[in-house]
Structure 1
Amino acid sequence: MRPVLTTWLEENADKAKQRAKETAELQAEINKLQKVLVEKLKLRDARYECGWNIEHYRGCLKTLERLANTHLAEMAPLRDRIVVFAPFTGVSLEGHVMLFTGDVLNNWIDFIKNIPHHDTYLKVVPIYEQTLSQVLRGIQIGRRKFMPKTQARGYANYLMKVTTSLGDYLGKQKYPKNWPETLHEFTIVVESEAGPLMVSPTGQFITPATCPGLILVDFISQNMQSSRELMNKYAEDKHIEQELMDECMEHLRLQSLTKDDAVTPDKMIVALRDLSQMQLPHLEQVKLHITNYYSVLTDGVVCIPWDSMQR
């Protein structure tokens, strides 16, 4: 049985504030170390997207500091890049250098040396995206709004597979007559080989790289209208979500208000509307994170489920 929000906050608010106080010194150390590394390696930024606590982030920075002190020359490819400590090692579609926190030092060194090789894939991605767009009547090629980081190398291969499948389709038949002249209003996202064929909550067509052209064309035909409706709803929800976030920040006197990527705007709106109707003095100056579970993180962030008042 899930706890009642107000009761849970009463029981955990003091713990959250104490943890936040205890980690303030650690955060200051991390900020200092991060600044030193950014300057020494001439990075654009260093970030942490691994879901672990900030002590783990300090460990990652210490490891990178060790590399900077012992292998500075080999770190040259990091210059003017954003380094992200992440669940995998590679170059992301945004061009960020992702370093898996579970890798040994030698793996990091070998990968960093080979960043120029990985960048070659990054450079061809826009070409592959443009090619797919041209084949599919000018459709926009998107990245899923709530998806994990993807490596450029794998993504380039996915794009090529979908383009080839559609080319095979067009070699045998034309697109349906009821299709508009252009699909520019729509967006397609190409994901891994084993992903689902679906319309996302944001109205994007999501396709696995291995989807046959015939099935993909048929799916788009059947879902154009629902895609339009979802796109419109998402645009409206994003606007409402931001307004409610601003209101809740002020109403509850929060230090910060964030959410998991998995909490889509419609879910966040439910949470924010519920919170805005409540008097929750225990949340004053607390870092609140909307997610799917109750927890107090080691750095004092308070996590509550988006539907905490719906059950």
Structure 2
Amino acid sequence: MLRSLIHRLRYRIVYTIVRSLSTQETANALRPFYFIVHPDLFGQFPRERNVNEESLKKLHEYLSSLQKTGSARPTNVLFYVRPQDESKDELKKSRNLKSVNIALSSRNLKTTVQNILSTCGLPVDYLKSIPEKATKTGALKQPIKWHPSFYAATGIKNPEEATHQEIILTFRSWLRRNIDESRLRTTAVKDIQDDIIRICDSLTSSIGLADIRWDSVWWSAHFRGCLKGFYRMYKEHPDRIGAVLRGRTLVFSNNSGVSLHGEIVLSIEDVPTHWMKLLMNVRAYDAVLERLPYMEKKLSELLNDIQIVRRKRHHHIMMAEEYELLLNKLLNSLRRCQDIAKTNLFEEDLSHLELVVEGESGPLALSSTGQFLVPASIPGSLVIDCIAKHKDQAHLILREILGSLQNEEVVVQRCLEDLQLSSLTKDENITPQQMVRCCQKLSHEAWMFEAWLTNTRLRVSHYYSVMQDGEICIPWDWVGDTNL
């Protein structure tokens, strides 16, 4: 009974101190605000009408909580405001609707109402005319702050702890603070990117390249510099360079050579003289590229026809010569373990599974995409044992991934259209399931983000960031206001 009495007393004190407006006074003060945001005024604008309806619900909940308990969870509400100096026909033609974001964070009702009116450019004369009310507690200016031991003994929830725990970074709050920075950076690099597109188009058409790709952590200004240097070199030796690169893919990266996919890779740290030297020796790599499929087939046969897959990794390009050495090393190891393979794998057909020769050393693992990642230095017996133990799990993951990949293409395209994005990509470590979940949420709440994200480049990752060229990174499991 004592605990109940203390609980009621504490909230009665908060109520008499914080609430300086009655329900009727609050409604009267906000009447001009309702006249410019009420959903009934937006009949010809269904999207804006829905936004205002949801925002009014959130606003009423916030105000009600302040009136009843003297506290409310901080939030933000978006409203579309209808200008009063245009007729209905003029407004329908121009769609001259501006939006306002109102931050609700104060625990004082009068201050909150004043903030709403000021944000919308409405007068606050009525609020100033309302006299301050005397409180029952006289000199008491704030709620009682009990020692933590009080809350531990009584079991009453500490409101201060609850306030700190409820402050969660949402996508909308982060975007509101960073979208201007993204736009500034995008504008700053627009001329650079236009130059890149122009030079790439010129090189591709002149040489007959299949593609030109930038694969480095350095940003677009470095790419443009490399392209200009290569273009000058091409103009000096058009026939020699054209004969080598016709039909090939050219990649600017952090190393030089011919990749296991047959791409011509030029190091951004080299000078054009070194580039030219590599290009003149490209034909010598053709024999290596021709041997790779044969070696992969032999490796597959040693493991009951498992598929050998070459996966592309961002900012990591494996060269053809290196890959050949890795395949040869793993082949030699597995040839000495065929008795173990027959015992553990029997005659079971494993052509539905996938294996990637990942590198010289590293963990032997089953990836999140269902592929066996095998370092070349691992003993063949451990490779066989791992496949035997996890083949059923790998098959299950691959089946799920196949369905998710098909679904991913659909939701990504829908998200691009719903938000009018310039591009939508993802990091390598984002699974198809995560990408699908992220894009579905974005499409579902497109009405909230479309105005901010139109013509924006978005990348799904594990963190929030604005890149140097204006691209926006967001975590795949971003939190929306509706999730709180």
TM-score, normalising length: structure 2? 0.60
CA contact (8 A) 1:258 1:289 kept: yes
Please give the alpha-carbon distance, in whole angstroms, between the structure 2 residues aligned to 1:174 and 1:253.
Answer: 53
Q: Is residue 306 from structure 1 mapped to residue 473 from structure 2 by the alignment?
A: no
Residues 64-121 of structure 1: per-residue CA shift (max 9 Å, x gap): 0122234446524223311111232111122110112122333222211211122221
SS class of match (2:369):
coil
Instruction: State the match for 2:171 in structure 1.
Output: 5
Please give the alpha-carbon distance, in whole angstroms, between the structure 1 residues aligned to 2:274 and 2:408.
Answer: 42
Instruction: State the match for 1:32 in structure 2.
Output: 198
Residues 195-245 of structure 1: per-residue CA shift (max 9 Å, x gap): 221111111111111111111111111111111111112112212322322
Please give the alpha-carbon distance, in whole angstroms, between the structure 2 residues aligned to 1:243 and 1:301.
Answer: 22
**How far did residue 146 of structure 1 move?**
4.9
Cα–Cα, structure 1 residues 27 and 164, in superposed 2: closer, same or farther, change >3 Å?
Answer: same
Please give the alpha-carbon distance, in whole angstroms, between the structure 1 residues aligned to 2:187 and 2:340.
Answer: 66
Alpha-carbon RMSD across the aligned residues, in angstroms, is: 2.4
Please give the alpha-carbon distance, in whole angstroms, between the structure 2 residues aligned to 1:93 and 1:44.
Answer: 16
Instruction: State the match for 2:336 in structure 1.
Output: 168
Instruction: State the match for 2:423 in structure 1.
Output: 256
Q: Is residue 196 from structure 1 mapped to residue 349 from structure 2 by the alignment?
A: no
Please give the alpha-carbon distance, in whole angstroms, between the structure 1 residues aligned to 2:437 and 2:336.
Answer: 45
- Whichever residue aligns with residue 452 of structure 2, its letter is H
**How far did residue 36 of structure 1 move?**
2.4
The total of aligned residue pairs comes to 310
Moved more, 98-107 or 39-48: 39-48
SS class of match (1:222):
helix
TM-score, normalising length: structure 1? 0.90
**How far did residue 27 of structure 1 move?**
2.3
Instruction: State the match for 2:348 in structure 1.
Output: 181
Instruction: State the match for 1:87 in structure 2.
Output: 254
Instruction: State the match for 2:439 in structure 1.
Output: 272
**How far did residue 184 of structure 1 move?**
1.0
Cα–Cα, structure 1 residues 14 and 216, in superposed 2: closer, same or farther, change >3 Å?
Answer: same
Candidates 236, 247, 257, aligned match of 2:414: 247
CA contact (8 A) 2:354 2:371 kept: yes
Please give the alpha-carbon distance, in whole angstroms, between the structure 2 residues aligned to 1:41 and 1:233.
Answer: 42
- Whichever residue aligns with residue 52 of structure 1, its letter is W
**How far did residue 173 of structure 1 move?**
4.8
Structure 1 unaligned regions, length at least 5: none
1:1-311 equivalences under 5 Å are 3-72=169-238, 74-75=240-241, 76-144=243-311, 146=313, 148-170=316-338, 173=340, 175-176=342-343, 179-278=346-445, 279-280=448-449, 281-309=451-479
CA contact (8 A) 2:169 2:479 kept: no
Cα–Cα, structure 1 residues 36 and 4, in superposed 2: closer, same or farther, change >3 Å?
Answer: same
Please give the alpha-carbon distance, in whole angstroms, between the structure 1 residues aligned to 2:350 and 2:210.
Answer: 37
CA contact (8 A) 1:263 1:291 kept: yes
- Whichever residue aligns with residue 455 of structure 2, its letter is Q
- Whichever residue aligns with residue 24 of structure 1, its letter is K
Cα–Cα, structure 1 residues 178 and 213, in superposed 2: closer, same or farther, change >3 Å?
Answer: closer
Please give the alpha-carbon distance, in whole angstroms, between the structure 2 residues aligned to 1:122 and 1:17.
Answer: 44
**How far did residue 306 of structure 1 move?**
1.7
Residues 286-307 of structure 1: per-residue CA shift (max 9 Å, x gap): 1111123322233322121223
CA contact (8 A) 1:155 1:191 kept: no
Moved more, 263-272 or 197-206: 263-272
Cα–Cα, structure 1 residues 262 and 82, in superposed 2: closer, same or farther, change >3 Å?
Answer: same
Please give the alpha-carbon distance, in whole angstroms, between the structure 1 residues aligned to 2:394 and 2:340.
Answer: 24
Please give the alpha-carbon distance, in whole angstroms, between the structure 2 residues aligned to 1:247 and 1:178.
Answer: 43
Answer 1 or 2: higher relative contact order, Cα 8 Å, separation at least 6. Answer: 1
Q: Give the % identical residues.
A: 33
Say which one has the larger Rg.
2
CA contact (8 A) 1:192 1:209 kept: yes
Structure 2 unaligned regions, length at least 5: 1-166
**How far did residue 190 of structure 1 move?**
0.9
CA contact (8 A) 1:179 1:221 kept: no
Please give the alpha-carbon distance, in whole angstroms, between the structure 2 residues aligned to 1:95 and 1:299.
Answer: 29
